[in-house]
Amino acid sequence: MAELRGIPCIEIQDVEPTRKGMAVTRSAGSPMTSLAFLQQAITAHATMAAEKLRRHGLVASHMTVFFHTNVFNNTPRDSSSRTAKLSPPSNSTMALVQTALRCAQKAWKGNRERNGFAYTKAGVMLDDLVPEELAPVDLFAHEQAKSA
């Protein structure tokens, strides 16, 4: 009855919605013209993404790595990306960096040293985020670790 008279009986608590995705992207200070330079940037992005996931108590199920050239100048243009499933979902720096590097290598076109493109932006996007305590568990992970 008190609520009908405008007196709150139960305090409303703000609940922050769970993120569904997150990204770590940066524009490069100088163009990335080799796979090695791109991999350095992607490693840094994946490391920051893992830290962000842990800070929010989340794990990711999918990762997308992308890189592209500057669309505002007259150099050859390219945009590449690759998506991978993280199974089991993870927030481990090692797992995210390994997956990101594998994606970057698969998305890279042509010669490892120089492919004719000057990439100016790269990033890592994480999707299908779930709270760490609700993430599916790999039942065989413990056995694989023991046998390794």
Domains and CATH numbers, the chain: 21-131 (3.30.1490.100)
Q: Which of 68, 62, 57, 60 is CA-nearest to residue 25? A: 68
pTM of this structure: 0.79
What is the residue whose two structure tokens read 């100048």?
A: 73
pLDDT, tens only, 110-142 = 877 778 899 999 999 999 999 988 777 766 655
Distance separating alpha carbons of residues 94 and 76, to the nearest angstrom = 34
The predicted-structure confidence for 36-64, as pLDDT tens digits, reads as follows: 999 999 999 999 999 999 999 999 999 99
